[in-house]
Amino acid sequence: MSNAITADGLRKRYGETQAVDGVSLEVQRGEFYGILGPNGAGKTTTMELLEGLREPDEGTAHLLGTPSWPRDPALLRRIGVQLQASAFFERLTAREQIRTFAALYGIEESHADGMLETVGLAEKADTREDKLSGGQAQRLSIACALVHDPELVFLDEPTTGLDPQARRNLWDLLRTINSSGRTVVLTTHYMDEAETLCDRVAVMDHGKVLRVGPPRSLVQELEVDTLEDVFLQLTGREYRE
């Protein structure tokens, strides 16, 4: 069976910025994969290239054995994406949002309502998109990405802005999804999260993948105490602009 993701030499340039500079990676089916890196490292852009949201300048990405560019609706049915910045239909309530997304994938309304409950938004079902708190919007965005039971899920900083309870709940949800054989790829700035969730992580900077491996092995290889030390050793300690 083909890999969940096979990326080969992906490059993307925005004007002067080389956002992604030759990224190749392989993610096995059923794997929980993390992409780490400082702000502006190119994580989001890499995810977008993998998802087929943008056309790579160079390189190819295959998801579940199918090229993700050009756009392929049959493939899109099998993947779920939560974008770093949430995107909702204007002036619709939480329930209407997720039902609309469910309908795009031919999913029952009752299942959509169940998903809303899973992310703890049942009480906010009738609240309009612009009246949700940051964390609630984030949860709705995740629910919309998962509503069609995708085989491969991309989550861009899913836990940013969530309170500790919601974060733990989301971890449980993602573990459940993953243990049913689905592949999860996420980016995060929380090293504890990467350590507890991810089978393997890729550390990126300046559009390149610096190192890939299970968190524990990386800690051992670099002879440090935590994943955070690994991160800082690989990407340096100075601030990013």
Partner 1 sequence: MRAFLNLSLAMARGLARDRAAVFFTLIFPLMFLMLFGALFKDQGVGKSDIVQVGSVKVLDGMPDKERAGLRDILEIEKTDGSAAARREALEKVRKGDADAAVFQRDGKVELRYSAADQVRSGTVRGVLNSIVQQANQRATGQPPAFALQTGAVEDETTKPIQYLTPGLLGWAVAMGGVFGSAFNLVSWRRKRILRRLWLAPISARSVVGARIGVNLITAFAQTAIFLAVASLPYYGLTLTGDWWLCLPLVVCGTLAFMSIGLLVGSFAKTEEAANGMAQLVILPMAFLSGTFFPLDNAPGWIRTVSEFLPLKHLASAMQDVLTRGESWGTALPVMGGLLLFAAVLTAIAARVFRWDAA
Ligand X SMILES: Nc1ncnc2c1ncn2[C@@H]1O[C@H](COP(=O)(O)OP(=O)(O)OP(=O)(O)O)[C@@H](O)[C@H]1O
Q: Looking at residues 155 to 194 of the shown chain, list those that interact with partner 1 (rule: CB under 8 A).
A: none
Exposure string (b/e) for 53-69, b if CB count within 10 Å is 16 or more?
bbebeebebbbbeeebb
* Min dist. Cβ of residue 129 to partner 1 (A): 9
Q: What mask of x and - would describe binding to ligand X in positions 43 to 72, judged by CB under 6 A?
A: xxx---------------------------
Among 53, 224, 232, 234, binds partner 1 (CB under 8 A): 53
Q: Which amino acid is at 207?
A: G
* Min dist. Cβ of residue 156 to Mg ion (A): 6
Applying CB under 6 A, the span of 35-43, 121-129, 176-184, 224-232 interacting with ligand X comes to 35-43
Q: How far apart are CA 1 and CA 234, in angstroms?
A: 33
Q: Within a 10 A sphere around the Cβ of 235, how many other Cβ atoms?
A: 18
Backbone dihedral angles phi then psi of residue 109, each to the nearest 5 degrees: -65, -40
| Binds 19: which of Mg ion, ligand X, partner 1, none (CB < 5-8 Å by kind) | ligand X
Q: What mask of x and - would describe binding to ligand X in positions 69 to 108, judged by CB under 6 A?
A: ---------------x------------------------
* Using rule CB under 6 A, residue 202 touches ligand X: no
Instruction: Provide DSSP, 104-128.
Output: HTT--HHHHHHHHHHTT-GGGTTSB
| Binds 183: which of partner 1, Mg ion, ligand X, none (CB < 5-8 Å by kind) | none
Beta bridge partners of 186: 34, 155
Nearer to partner 1, 39 or 238 (CB): 39
Q: Per the structure block, which two tokens stand in for 110?
A: 């009752």
Applying CB under 8 A, the span of 16-24, 76-84, 202-210, 219-227 interacting with partner 1 comes to 76-84
Q: Where are the beta strands (DSSP E) in 46-182?
A: 58-63, 66-67, 79-82, 152-156
Q: Which residues bind ligand X (CB under 6 A)?
A: 14, 17, 19, 37, 39-45, 84
